[in-house]
Amino acid sequence: MVRRQSILEERKKSIIDKASFCRGDGSGISCGKSSVSGAVSQRACMFSGARVVLNPITDAYHIIHGPIGCASYTWDIRGSLTSGSDTFRTSYSTDLRETDVIFGGEKKLEAAIDELVAQESAKLIFVYGTCIVGVIGDDIDAVCRRAEEKHGIRVIPVKASGFSGTKSQGYKLACDAIMQLVEPYKNIPKVKGINILGDFNLAGEMWIIKSYMKKLGIPVVSTVTGDASCESLLRMPSAQLNIVQCAGSSTYLATRMEEELGIPFIKVSFFGAEDTTNSLIRIAQALGDEAAVRKAVAFTTEEAEAAEAFLQAYRPKFEGKKAAIYVGGGFKAISLIKQFNEMGIETVVVGTQTGKEEDYEIIEHLVNENTVILDDANPSELEEFMLEKGANILVGGVKERPLAYKLGIAFCDHNHERKHALAGFEGIRNFTREVNLSINSPVWEYCR
Amino acid sequence: MLDLTPKKITERTALRINPCKTCQPVGAMYAALGVHKCMPHSHGSQGCASFHRMYLSRHFKEPAVASTSSFTEGASVFGGGSNVKTAVKNVFDIYDPDIIAIHTTCLSETIGDDLNSYIMDMDIPEGKLVVHTNTPSYVGSHINGFFNMMCGFINYLTKKSGTPNGKTAIFPGFVNPGDMRELKRLATLMNVPFTMFPDTSGVMDAPMTGRFEMYPDGGTTVPEIAGLGDCGEILALGSITSIEPAELMKKKFKVPYTLLPLPIGVEATDRYIMELSRISKAEVPRELEEQRGQLIDILLDSNQYTHRKTVAIYGDPDTVVGLTALCLEMGMLPKYVITGTPKEEFTREVRALLERYGETDAVVKANTDLFELHQLIKNEPVDLLLGGSYGKAIAKAENIPLVRAGFPVLDRYVHSYLPLVGYTGMIRMVEHITNTLMDRQDADCADEDLEVVM
């Protein structure tokens, strides 16, 4: 039995232990809500959600309008790679001070945009309103509008006061900003090809996916937002199909594009052999491109066989090992469970920060009876369930790494700090090697 | 790559590019982690707590636990009173700390939340404590947050019983746990009974035990903070970081203080040790004499590789003052000395140091950013960069070696376990700096100039 006393009453609705508790009344998991006050939440805020989605646009200037912290903490935080400009890796902020808070920050924002434009040849600026900007009532819409007229460039407001929603709602703001950017290009003629949504080119993953598209003979019109540029984003409305990799952040954008631009979308995942194979074939099918389907089948069969041969050598090293997953979105968690299955590792704890109800339903069907499922878990819950279920490795993000190590549990970063590309067939090899290196590190000999 | 910085320096009044500071709350969180069985609590949006924990985790490679009031739209209209009350109840129920240390954020400050009255209205369990401090993010930097949180603890907890406890209070400044360990080692060697406050050693450098300890063994205890009022005196290290809590102690409890620079470099370490010796009347033990002698020996040995080498130093004000002294003692030439923290005392202190060595050409600036530093370097380069990880882009773009020191260091390991302070710290830095410059010489020299003996 779980040490139930250490779980907040309000939190019980956000935890499913199929074997023993919290559910059974058919009500489903409670998710997508703000964290409970007093929780040691692993989650960030609305601003963070918007910021991480827009950050990878390589030639965009991101001005954080607020006190310096929000700019400092999000300066170059994603390992998004670029094949073009690296403007996005520079941090811009209005660094609001007390007098700005008292007298309003609009003038300072206006001056900051002017100073930026005077210095750089900016085509696209995103202006993020942070918590206090929402409270002191700066009209950043008006400032951005005036700046667009004055400088003849795009200046798009992202009103992302942290308190006004969850990280997922921040993703939506980012999607709205992208739609605002492409608005004047809505009616450009369609061309053959797809947009890749919800991949951020961490460790160059977008390039792997693009290389697959090339093999299948499917042109890529634009990527959103990994390795995207202002120019490539403007081509976005001309695509025939959107494929959505990170569903949590980009389904909303895909839905808007379907409704407003008539571009259908499919959700895909390139984590693990099963999902990569299915995704490639489904993309070709969705385009009605028989040649591409044949190529996809041939390519994935070959690659999946090679991956299987690779995995076979590793499976003995993973025998009896158990995994815990704690990631941002539900779709990634689903892929990871499958991928661990392919590796011969059982998933015993699975949680997400922003998973949706339908994600949790799929997760429930994928895992064994005694697996624990959590929404917005905190460190003590993760500790408790990982130890109880005997997890050997945790897959998570930056805040979970030291936690895992303190518990003597191996770790693999599947978030901003991933060290190698984890997508596609290359990703299977990288992920497997990384999990093996961590699980079978000699350091564990000294811990036990 | 990473080289977009224009050489021409244009005046900026509104735009901050590549900051060399962050906001108050993260400093407050770090200070609170230096109190035993304390849960730092962020009274604001949940993103704040998440960002600060991530930032601290990345620097210390340790879990940084803190809770949040999780502001919603409603809270930001009607005030965060009910959020913080629920939060405090939940934190005591579930995470069971001895004490909760609340710091505010830009949001809760701007809407005018009155933490004093919220805390008075709270149902705090018997034997548990709640303290708070105000940390408006739009004032100062994370350094202000650190000393404001210290003041918060003192205001709530410290008392003067009238019976001296025979101890000296040591305020370590915003430094790594490795520094705090070294400062304590020196005080112990000098036979001075002390309370270090705050003390993150044993918390942010806790050993691996196979369990996740939400409250590791380290940290200043609540009785020790209460007892600060009975201390004979205070050694306040880092004149910019520690002066406010030291002043507060003097005003409230008549405990006198001596303000010292962080003991980085020979002279500042000598001063710290002489102050300890003054307090305990103890002779400097042979162990320390020996170590100091080794350090001087090392300085002599390596001197030819560091003498007149130019360096750009950036980071937190007291740390940068210390590193400037250290570089000067190594015969180096600090050319650019900057901090993002808006404190003019910084420029005065650095200038005074430079003048003593007859160096008056350096650019010394507070309240500036790494973009400006980069522009300065583009106009006139230096041989070495000394500071945190965010100088990495400059190092890469300008092909200048970087020695990491200070906060934050996000891309290297072990730094937080080992000191910058004391003779130990300087020996370590001399090794880093000299080897970095010599590695560079080896890498750059012509084949025929490659020497085995250097």
Cis peptide before A130 (omega within 30 of 0): no
Verify that A170 and A138 share a domain, yes or no.
yes
Q: Residues of chain A with pLDDT > 90: what percent?
A: 75
Residue with tokens 């003019």: B344
Of A274, A308, A342, which residue constitutes the final position of a domain? A308
Verify that A304 and A373 share a domain, yes or no.
no
- pLDDT tens track for A365-416: 999 888 999 988 777 888 889 999 999 999 998 778 888 998 999 999 988 7
Q: How far is B379 from chain A (nearest CA, A)?
A: 17
B86 and A37: CB-CB below 8 Å?
yes
Verify that B185 and B39 share a domain, yes or no.
no
Phi (first) and psi of residue B129, to 5 degrees = -135, 150
| Among candidates A69, A110, A406 on the partner chain, residue whose Cβ is nearest the Cβ of B25 | A69
Average pLDDT, chain A: 91
Distance (Å, whole) CA A1 – CA A403: 22
Query: Where residue B118 sits, what CATH number does that domain have?
Result: 3.40.50.1980
Verify that A62 and A123 share a domain, yes or no.
yes
Of A185, A202, A218, which residue constitutes the final position of a domain? A185
A40 and B84: CB-CB below 8 Å?
no
Residue A134 confidence (pLDDT): 87
- On whether residue B1 sits in a domain, the answer given is no
Of A185, A219, A253, which residue constitutes the final position of a domain? A185
Residue A28 confidence (pLDDT): 58
Verify that A304 and A280 share a domain, yes or no.
yes
Verify that A278 and A170 share a domain, yes or no.
no
Q: Which band of pLDDT confidence, cut at 50, 70 and 90, is reported for residue A4?
A: very low
Give whichever of A33-42, A79-88, B397-406 has the largest mean pLDDT: B397-406
Structure token digits, residue B299: 């300085």
Domain housing B400:
286-446
Q: How far is B135 from chain A (nearest CA, A)?
A: 12
Q: What total number of domains does chain B contain?
A: 3
Other beta carbons within 10 angstroms of residue A23's beta carbon come to: 17
Q: Which band of pLDDT confidence, cut at 50, 70 and 90, is reported for residue A34?
A: low
Q: Which band of pLDDT confidence, cut at 50, 70 and 90, is reported for residue A59?
A: very high
- On whether residue B349 sits in a domain, the answer given is yes
Verify that A262 and A324 share a domain, yes or no.
no
| Interface list for A 420-439 with B (CB within 8 A) | none
- On whether residue A38 sits in a domain, the answer given is no
- On whether residue B8 sits in a domain, the answer given is no
- On whether residue A41 sits in a domain, the answer given is no
Cis peptide before B285 (omega within 30 of 0): no
Distance (Å, whole) CA A276 – CA A268: 8
Q: Which of A37, A65, A68, A171 to mutate to test the interface with B (most CBs of B within 10 A)?
A: A37
* A147-172 average pLDDT score: 94
* A274-285 average pLDDT score: 96
Cβ neighbours of A399 in B, within 8 Å: 50, 53-54, 57, 63-64
- pLDDT tens track for B331-341: 999 999 999 99
Asked whether residue A13 carries a pLDDT value surpassing 90, the answer given is no
Cβ neighbours of B141 in A, within 8 Å: 68
- On whether residue A281 sits in a domain, the answer given is yes
What 3 state SS string does chain A have? CCCHHHCCHHHHHHEEECCCECCCCCCCCCCCCCCCCCCCCCCCCHHHHHHHHHCCCCCCEEEEECCHHHHHHCCCCCCECCCCCCHHHCCEECCCCHHHHHHCCHHHHHHHHHHHHHHCCCCEEEEEECHHHHHHCCCHHHHHHHHHHHHCCEEEEEECCHHHCCHHHHHHHHHHHHHHHHHHHCCCCCCCCEEEEEECCECCHHHHHHHHHHHHCCCEEEEEECCCCHHHHHCHHHCCEEEECCHHHHHHHHHHHHHHHCCCEEECCCCCHHHHHHHHHHHHHHCCCHHHHHHHHHHHHHHHHHHHHHHHHHHHHHCCCEEEEEECCHHHHHHHHHHHHHHCCEEEEEEECCCCHHHHHHHHHHCCCCCEEEECCCHHHHHHHHHHHCCCEEEECCCHHHHHHHCCCEEEECCCCCCCCCCHHHHHHHHHHHHHHHHCCCCHHHHC
Verify that A15 and A64 share a domain, yes or no.
no
- On whether residue A35 sits in a domain, the answer given is no
Verify that A101 and A217 share a domain, yes or no.
no
- On whether residue B432 sits in a domain, the answer given is yes
B62 and A108: CB-CB below 8 Å?
no
Distance (Å, whole) CA B325 – CA B318: 11
| Among candidates A38, A45, A108 on the partner chain, residue whose Cβ is nearest the Cβ of B87 | A38
Verify that B318 and B255 share a domain, yes or no.
no
Structure token digits, residue A306: 């090679």
Verify that A16 and A146 share a domain, yes or no.
no
Q: How far is B432 from chain A (nearest CA, A)?
A: 26
Q: How far is B100 from chain A (nearest CA, A)?
A: 11
Distance (Å, whole) CA B21 – CA A448: 40
Higher pLDDT, B98 or A27: B98
Residue A236 confidence (pLDDT): 97
- pLDDT tens track for B172-189: 999 999 999 999 999 999
Closest CA to B20 of B295, B320, B253: B320
| Interface list for A 84-113 with B (CB within 8 A) | 85-87, 89-98, 100-101, 108-112
* A175-188 average pLDDT score: 96
B90 and A407: CB-CB below 8 Å?
no
A86 and B58: CB-CB below 8 Å?
no
Beta strands in B36-191 (DSSP E): 38-43, 67-68, 99-104, 129-133, 168-171
Verify that B299 and B427 share a domain, yes or no.
yes
Whether ipTM exceeds 0.90: yes
- On whether residue B230 sits in a domain, the answer given is yes
Domain housing A289:
194-308
Beta-sheet strand order (sheet of B363-365):
B363-365, B333-338, B310-314, B384-387, B402-404
Q: Which band of pLDDT confidence, cut at 50, 70 and 90, is reported for residue B1?
A: very low
Verify that A53 and A149 share a domain, yes or no.
yes
Verify that A318 and A292 share a domain, yes or no.
no
Helix, strand, coil content of chain B in percent (nearest 5): 50, 15, 40
Q: How far is B131 from chain A (nearest CA, A)?
A: 15
| Among candidates B46, B65, B210 on the partner chain, residue whose Cβ is nearest the Cβ of A379 | B65
Cβ neighbours of B63 in A, within 8 Å: 379, 399, 402-403, 406
Cis peptide before B198 (omega within 30 of 0): yes
Q: Which band of pLDDT confidence, cut at 50, 70 and 90, is reported for residue A447?
A: confident
Residue A32 confidence (pLDDT): 61
Asked whether residue B278 carries a pLDDT value surpassing 90, the answer given is yes
* B87-107 average pLDDT score: 96
Verify that B319 and B268 share a domain, yes or no.
no
Verify that B338 and B383 share a domain, yes or no.
yes
> From its phi and psi, is residue B41 left (phi > 0), alpha (psi between -120 and 50) or beta?
beta
- On whether residue A398 sits in a domain, the answer given is yes
Verify that B310 and B257 share a domain, yes or no.
no
Q: What total number of domains does chain A contain?
A: 3
* A297-312 average pLDDT score: 97
Residue of A nearest to B77 (CA): A135
- On whether residue A384 sits in a domain, the answer given is yes
- On whether residue B124 sits in a domain, the answer given is yes
Contact A227, A56 (CB under 8 A): yes
Q: Which residues contact B141 (CB under 8 A, 6 or more apart)?
A: A68, B21, B22, B23, B24, B27, B316, B340, B341, B342
Verify that B244 and B192 share a domain, yes or no.
yes
Closest CA to B383 of B287, B305, B320: B305
- pLDDT tens track for B18-40: 999 999 999 999 999 999 999 99
Residue A1 confidence (pLDDT): 30
Asked whether residue A21 carries a pLDDT value surpassing 50, the answer given is no
Beta strands in B36-147 (DSSP E): 38-43, 67-68, 99-104, 129-133
Verify that B395 and B271 share a domain, yes or no.
no
- pLDDT tens track for B370-413: 999 999 999 999 999 999 999 999 999 999 999 999 999 999 99
Query: Where residue A212 sits, what CATH number does that domain have?
Result: 3.40.50.1980
Structure token digits, residue A105: 């920050």
Distance (Å, whole) CA A397 – CA A395: 7
Structure token digits, residue B194: 């002390």
A69 and B110: CB-CB below 8 Å?
no
Higher pLDDT, A93 or A402: A93
Beta strands in B189-319 (DSSP E): 194-196, 233-237, 257-260, 310-314
| Among candidates B16, B57, B73 on the partner chain, residue whose Cβ is nearest the Cβ of A68 | B16
A35 and B393: CB-CB below 8 Å?
no
Verify that A332 and A296 share a domain, yes or no.
no
* B314-324 average pLDDT score: 98
A162 and B71: CB-CB below 8 Å?
yes
Distance (Å, whole) CA A260 – CA B437: 59
Residue of B nearest to A170 (CA): B47
Asked whether residue B419 carries a pLDDT value surpassing 70, the answer given is yes
- On whether residue A381 sits in a domain, the answer given is yes
Verify that B95 and B196 share a domain, yes or no.
no
Distance (Å, whole) CA A181 – CA A187: 13
Distance (Å, whole) CA A185 – CA A92: 28
- On whether residue B260 sits in a domain, the answer given is yes
B47 and A46: CB-CB below 8 Å?
yes
Cβ neighbours of B53 in A, within 8 Å: 399
Distance (Å, whole) CA B66 – CA B50: 9
B93 and A164: CB-CB below 8 Å?
no
- On whether residue B12 sits in a domain, the answer given is no
- On whether residue A101 sits in a domain, the answer given is yes
| Among candidates A34, A163, A407 on the partner chain, residue whose Cβ is nearest the Cβ of B210 | A407
